[in-house]
Structures are given as C-alpha cells and as structure tokens.
Amino acid sequence: MTTTTIRLTLELKSRVAAAAEQAGTTPHGFILQAIEDKASQHERQTAFHQLADQRLAAIIAGGKTIAWSDMRHYLEQRALGTATTPPESRAPDR
C-alpha cells in the first residue's frame, strides 16, 4: 500500500470526521471509501459512454432504430392494457 498526502481545509476535515463518526468508521476509512466510490462511478460512466458510442456507430453504419415517439406511444398503450402492435424499426433519418 502506498501513501498519498492530501491537504484538507479545517472545515472539510471537520465535516469528514463528523460524517465518518455517523457512518461508524474512521476518517481514514471514510476518505478511502469516498475515493473508491468516485473511481468506480467514473469507471461505470466511462463504460456507459463507450457502449453508447458503439451503439450509435452501429446504427449509423446501417442498423435500424425505433423513434422514441413511436416507442413511447407503444409503451403507453401496453401500460394501459390496450392491444397494440410494436412499432416498426427503420433506418434513422440522416
């Protein structure tokens, strides 16, 4: 394990100490968990954006899609219990 020094304002140090106490952990443990949470959030967000980019590229390359307005109408009808047919997929407008 390596050591990293961070500088906190007195106000932030007090807030971290109070939050750690409420969470039943030490300030050190609280800070480590906060860093882990932030790194995980960033990794998930990056993966989400990469997947979105891949899907958009597939649609642009010739895939088909369903317009949101058509899908929303279909889902609303299904939620109401109304018999309805699924919307047709089509090449996106360019």
Q: What is the pLDDT of residues 57-74, one digit of tens each?
A: 988 888 888 889 999 999
Amino acid identity for residue 67 in this structure: A
Report, in angstroms and rounded to the nearest whole number, the Rg of the chain calculated over CA atoms. Answer: 24
Going 78 to 70 to 73 to 55, the CA torsion angle's sign is: positive
- CA torsion, ordered 51, 52, 54, 58, to nearest 10 deg: 140
**Mean pLDDT in residue range 34-57:** 97
Give the whole-number percent of the chain exceeding pLDDT 70. Answer: 98
Write phi, then psi, for 55 (nearest 5 degrees).
Answer: -65, -40
Q: Quote the pTM value.
A: 0.68
Give the whole-number percent of the chain exceeding pLDDT 90. Answer: 80
